[in-house]
A and B are shown apart, each in its own frame.
Chain A
Amino acid sequence: MLAVNFLLLAAVLFCIGVFGVIARRNAVMVLMSIELILNAVNLNLVAFALMNNNQEGQVFALYVIAIAAAEVGVGLAMVLMIYRNRKSIALDELSEMKG
């Protein structure tokens, strides 16, 4: 049970998430990628908690899961509204905020 295994898995998950956030045009896919990033972080937290025999990391992971659920709720609601207005959820078409 090497620490490096956990860390590698988490890093891979994180990189996949980052790639998804940056490269995907579909908003739902971006939200799912964010979930990947968060879960990579959770994996790290749990792994270090286990190795250092410390409960706080586990608790913090639970917090992150709860907040991720809320975030996905808000995010999906926004995606739904965007779809209703534009009949599309392609993010590269959403550039009204350009400065």
Chain B
Amino acid sequence: MENAWLIALIPAVAFVLIIAFGKKMPFKGAEFGLASIGASLVIATGAGIQWMQRTDSADHGGEAAQGMASGVRGALRAAEGAEAKPFIDPVVSQWVWWQNSGLEFGIGSHIDGLSILLLWLVAFISFLVQIFSLDYVRGDRRYTHFFAALTLFSSGMLVMVMASNMVQLILGWEIMGLCSFMLIGHWWEDSYNSHSALKAFFTVRVGDVGLLIGTAILFFGSNQWAVDNLGTNGFDIRAIQAWALSGDGSSWTLLMASVALFIAAIGKSGQFPFHTWLPDAMAGPTPVSSLLHSSTMVVAGVFLVARIYPVFWEGFNIANGGLSFIAIIGGITIIIAALLAFVQDDIKKVLAYSTVSQLGYMMLGLGTGAWLPAVFHVFTHAFFKCCLFLAAGSISHSGSHHSFDMKKDMGGLRKFMPITFGAWCVSTLALTGVIPFAGFWSKDEIIDNVGDAGYTFLFWVGLFGAALTAMYMTRATYLTFFGDPRGAAAGIHHDADHGYATEHRETLVTAATIDRELVTVGAAPKSLGAAAAHGDDHGDDHDDHDDHDDHDGHGDHDGHGDHGPHESGKLILIPIVILAVLALTSGFANPTPLAGDALGLNLGEGVELIKEYVEPRAEAVSLDIAAGHAGESVQLLEPGFVPNEAAGFVPNEAAGFVPAAGDKKAGCGRSTPEVGTVCYFPAVSHAVPTLSKILLSLGVVAIGYAAAIGFCIAFYKNKHPKLVGLTERSRIARGGYLFLKNKYYLDALYQNVFVYFVSRPLAKATYWFNQNVLDAAVDGVGAGGKRAGEFVYKNIDQKLVDGAVNASGTIASETGHGLQPIQSGRVNHYASLLFGAAAVGAIVLVILNVS
């Protein structure tokens, strides 16, 4: 675990290698990316196993071996009895990165359960996505750069996840922001793509300001405390955690810090009202969307909240059931994003809004004290959402000819792509929270905990969101896989509507392409209805566009000249299948035990792996242990610093302290820790699931499914007269549809109000200020400088300096002229001068010697 920093370093090195040598390598740099992420995955797995062993041995009395034991700790445990499990110290190893006037911070790794979980998750998902990309972007013009950016992106996330201080966290955060910009705008030739990339970057940047401000507030708030008590400083994450729970920080500071930091999380995790960049981020290649949306970029915000959770816990007063900003934003996001998903025709945008909605669940969980379920949802959501995105990529790659439009180019694909269909279904069931699948265990746990913590309204919001999830996913599934094939799925090929960057792939005109065009246009079956007509509409364009739409990938696995829908290649299917299996099973990493009881499947307590290993124990740690441990792991301790004297604390008395574990009103985060102890994590409560709650949520999901299936069959299949054309007839329906279609006019709001305000009056005012104040000042300085320069030139330079130079020249010249006659050129004259001089010298010598 001490070497966990390698997990982030290896991909970063690989990025440099890909950029430097990638183009010359046989696989154009992809091998570096794959190898580095693979190595990171191996190390992360090893570190995870070590962490579990460490936790186990700490729990079972083997603490001495872990090097963090002490008599005080043992006494604490003995006093508490077997029930209370000790706080497991994170393994911190770091190097000094920057040092100045007593303040220093390091770069390194901070490994605890949360880091391990996410490190492994990021490495794993990145690995699969890179395998998928091998085939998916094959033949792309910037193939090498794609892998470079993908690798650096993973590296950025890994750096952030293992950050031991806020500065390193910001570093990783910004690397990700940059790489997301590069990847979303991968096909930047299309102005839509580069616009989306800019939008993503700037929207996230708005949040980043919050991150910087929040970090600054936390630093100034906690620095003195951290120096006094822990011997670290206010950037250190453990110091921040401990300070937030110590009760020494003012609640106003904590509130401001948590609001600022949560704005950052809103921006990064696409929460309302900054969610608008996420759907546009679909402009990037599908593997990017998949990585962005499952385990990296968007999870960064959730991770930030989870990492320094004590700050939010205290700042928003979650302990006492305060209705927190986080929970409200989360709740709003769940509903609005789910509603938006209904009107999207683009399969990736449906998934994007679904991600936004699921992130809302995570935030809701965090905002109401359900830390564990939220983190668990990050874990499961990564698998099934990544699987869904990769399946969507597979569909567009092989089924709908690079279109993502469900209404125009899909339908009936289940016959052509059975494996993709199967994986999609498993992941959909997981996403919607049907019982044995992963989403059930995590999402229902969130909803359950929300209800248990007393937020009744948010509980119903969560349930309603679950029903909406079932509905929009049914719609997407139906449009994609059922019904009659349409558009490209039916073999009709039209180019003008390729929403995404396929137009910019490397062009390769083959005979097969031209033949296919002829066949397609000639044989477009009229019976396919609207889609066929659509195909004919675009028939005219084919001559202009047919050099745009082939890409090399098909050459490897087609074997069918007609380019109709077909199953994807192995490199694409294997990651999808692996993820589908995990979508099915990953929920069992933490099935709530009583749910097992309620269902008659008692799995025992040991099955709660996530709770056991990931959730930090909310136990007070006495300060000498904390500081002693800190010193042992390069914690920037100043020599000679005695942590406890400053606090007036005598270490041995800590043995008598027994925290009241299990009591909801006491313990970490509920009450101020005893003098001389610090908490690193608040005592979050865990809801006890019951059969009725499970049935309620399953019932809601089932209602959602039933309603959606009924609607789909009635609307899309039977074209029920009352439903078709409803938006034309009913003003309310039309209004609602337009409202959703325009994404609540948020984009318009940003564009027309904020941007307009910024660009017009503010810009004018700035321009005026610039012209009249700044420019005047600059001009004044310039004019003064010019005058001073002229004065210096005329008087000092010309007269003094040049005068001296000229004078020396003149003197030399005149002297030369004066001595010129001597140089007669006659040897006799020289000789007489010589002897004359010698004679004079001799006479002087004689006179001197005589006198």
**0 or 1 for each of A64-99: is its CB under 8 Å from B? (1 = yes):** 000000000000000000000000000110111111
Contact between A97 and B825, CB atoms less than 8 A apart = yes
Within 8 A of B (CB), among A24-61: 25, 30
* Interface of chain B, main secondary structure: helix
**0 or 1 for each of B814-851: is its CB under 8 Å from A? (1 = yes):** 00000010111111100110010000000000000000
Contact between B831 and A98, CB atoms less than 8 A apart = no
Contact between A96 and B825, CB atoms less than 8 A apart = yes
Min CB distance B716 to A, Å, is 112
Contact between B826 and A22, CB atoms less than 8 A apart = no
Contact between B828 and A92, CB atoms less than 8 A apart = yes
Number of B interface residues at 8 Å Cβ cutoff, please give it.
Answer: 11
Q: Is A1 an interface residue (CB 8 A)?
A: no
Contact between A23 and B824, CB atoms less than 8 A apart = no
Min CB distance A40 to B, Å, is 13
**0 or 1 for each of B785-825: is its CB under 8 Å from A? (1 = yes):** 00000000000000000000000000000000000101111
In the bound complex, CA of A98 to CA of B824 (Å) = 5
> Which A residue sits closest to B838, measured CB to CB?
A18
Point out the residues of chain B lying under 8 angstroms from A96, CB to CB: 825
Name A95's contact: one of B820, B826, B831, B832 (CB within 8 Å): B826
Contact between A98 and B823, CB atoms less than 8 A apart = yes
Q: Which of B823, B831, B832 has the largest count of A CB atoms less than 10 A from its CB?
A: B831
> Which B residue sits closest to A97, measured CB to CB?
B825
Contact between B828 and A95, CB atoms less than 8 A apart = no
Min CB distance A37 to B, Å, is 9
In the bound complex, CA of A21 to CA of B838 (Å) = 14
In the bound complex, CA of A94 to CA of B823 (Å) = 13
Q: A18-B835, A22-B835 are in contact. Are A97 and B828 (CB under 8 A)?
A: no
Contact between B831 and A21, CB atoms less than 8 A apart = yes
Min CB distance A77 to B, Å, is 16
Within 8 A of A (CB), among B397-435: none
Contact between A22 and B825, CB atoms less than 8 A apart = no
Q: A18-B835, A22-B832, A22-B835 are in contact. Are A91 and B827 (CB under 8 A)?
A: yes
Within 8 A of B (CB), among A5-29: 18, 21-23, 25
Point out the residues of chain A lying under 8 angstroms from B822, CB to CB: 99
Min CB distance B772 to A, Å, is 69
Contact between B828 and A23, CB atoms less than 8 A apart = yes
Contact between A91 and B823, CB atoms less than 8 A apart = no
Contact between B826 and A99, CB atoms less than 8 A apart = no
Name B824's contact: one of A18, A21, A25, A95 (CB within 8 Å): A95
Contact between A99 and B825, CB atoms less than 8 A apart = yes
> Which A residue sits closest to B829, measured CB to CB?
A22
Number of A interface residues at 8 Å Cβ cutoff, please give it.
Answer: 14
Min CB distance B633 to A, Å, is 85
Contact between B832 and A97, CB atoms less than 8 A apart = no
Q: A21-B828, A23-B828 are in contact. Are A97 and B823 (CB under 8 A)?
A: yes
In the bound complex, CA of A25 to CA of B824 (Å) = 15
In the bound complex, CA of A95 to CA of B824 (Å) = 7
Contact between A94 and B831, CB atoms less than 8 A apart = no
Contact between A91 and B825, CB atoms less than 8 A apart = no
In the bound complex, CA of A98 to CA of B835 (Å) = 20
In the bound complex, CA of A30 to CA of B835 (Å) = 14
Point out the residues of chain B lying under 8 angstroms from A91, CB to CB: 826-828
> Which A residue sits closest to B832, measured CB to CB?
A22
Point out the residues of chain B lying under 8 angstroms from A22, CB to CB: 828, 831-832, 835
Point out the residues of chain A lying under 8 angstroms from B835, CB to CB: 18, 21-22
Q: A22-B832, A22-B835 are in contact. Are A99 and B827 (CB under 8 A)?
A: no
Point out the residues of chain A lying under 8 angstroms from B831, CB to CB: 21-22, 30
In the bound complex, CA of A23 to CA of B831 (Å) = 10
Contact between B832 and A94, CB atoms less than 8 A apart = no
Point out the residues of chain B lying under 8 angstroms from A23, CB to CB: 828
Min CB distance B838 to A, Å, is 9
In the bound complex, CA of A88 to CA of B165 (Å) = 99
Point out the residues of chain A lying under 8 angstroms from B828, CB to CB: 21-23, 25, 30, 91-92
Min CB distance A88 to B, Å, is 14
Min CB distance A91 to B, Å, is 5
Point out the residues of chain B lying under 8 angstroms from A25, CB to CB: 828
> Which B residue sits closest to A30, measured CB to CB?
B827
Point out the residues of chain B lying under 8 angstroms from A95, CB to CB: 824-826
In the bound complex, CA of A25 to CA of B825 (Å) = 14
Min CB distance B481 to A, Å, is 107
Name B820's contact: one of A92, A97, A99 (CB within 8 Å): A99
Name B825's contact: one of A18, A21, A30, A94 (CB within 8 Å): A94
In the bound complex, CA of A8 to CA of B757 (Å) = 114
Min CB distance A55 to B, Å, is 26
Q: A21-B831, A99-B820 are in contact. Are A92 and B826 (CB under 8 A)?
A: yes
> Which B residue sits closest to A24, measured CB to CB?
B828
In the bound complex, CA of A98 to CA of B822 (Å) = 9
> Which B residue sits closest to A27, measured CB to CB?
B827
Point out the residues of chain A lying under 8 angstroms from B824, CB to CB: 95, 98
Within 8 A of A (CB), among B349-369: none
In the bound complex, CA of A87 to CA of B826 (Å) = 18
Min CB distance B354 to A, Å, is 100
Point out the residues of chain A lying under 8 angstroms from B820, CB to CB: 99
In the bound complex, CA of A25 to CA of B823 (Å) = 18
Point out the residues of chain A lying under 8 angstroms from B826, CB to CB: 91-92, 94-95, 98
Within 8 A of A (CB), among B455-505: none
Point out the residues of chain A lying under 8 angstroms from B823, CB to CB: 97-99
In the bound complex, CA of A91 to CA of B820 (Å) = 20
In the bound complex, CA of A21 to CA of B834 (Å) = 11
Min CB distance B835 to A, Å, is 5
Min CB distance A46 to B, Å, is 21
In the bound complex, CA of A51 to CA of B526 (Å) = 141
In the bound complex, CA of A95 to CA of B821 (Å) = 12
Point out the residues of chain B lying under 8 angstroms from A30, CB to CB: 827-828, 831
> Which B residue sits closest to A17, measured CB to CB?
B835
In the bound complex, CA of A96 to CA of B823 (Å) = 10
Point out the residues of chain B lying under 8 angstroms from A99, CB to CB: 820, 822-823, 825
Point out the residues of chain B lying under 8 angstroms from A98, CB to CB: 823-826
In the bound complex, CA of A22 to CA of B822 (Å) = 15
**0 or 1 for each of B683-709: is its CB under 8 Å from A? (1 = yes):** 000000000000000000000000000
Min CB distance A72 to B, Å, is 16
In the bound complex, CA of A99 to CA of B826 (Å) = 11
In the bound complex, CA of A98 to CA of B825 (Å) = 4
Min CB distance B95 to A, Å, is 74
Min CB distance B815 to A, Å, is 13
Within 8 A of A (CB), among B509-537: none
Min CB distance A14 to B, Å, is 10
Min CB distance A71 to B, Å, is 14
> Which A residue sits closest to B820, measured CB to CB?
A99
**0 or 1 for each of B64-88: is its CB under 8 Å from A? (1 = yes):** 0000000000000000000000000
Point out the residues of chain B lying under 8 angstroms from A92, CB to CB: 826, 828
Ordered by A's residue number, 8 sampled pairs between the chains whose C-beta atoms are within 8 Å are A18-B835, A21-B828, A22-B828, A23-B828, A96-B825, A97-B825, A98-B824, A99-B820
Interface on B for A, CB 8 Å cutoff? Answer: 820, 822-828, 831-832, 835
A22-B835, A23-B828, A99-B823 known, 8 other contacts, Cβ within 8 Å: A18-B835, A22-B828, A22-B831, A25-B828, A95-B824, A95-B825, A98-B824, A99-B822
Interface on A for B, CB 8 Å cutoff? Answer: 18, 21-23, 25, 30, 91-92, 94-99
Which 3 pairs between the two chains have the least Cβ-Cβ distance? A99-B823, A98-B825, A95-B825
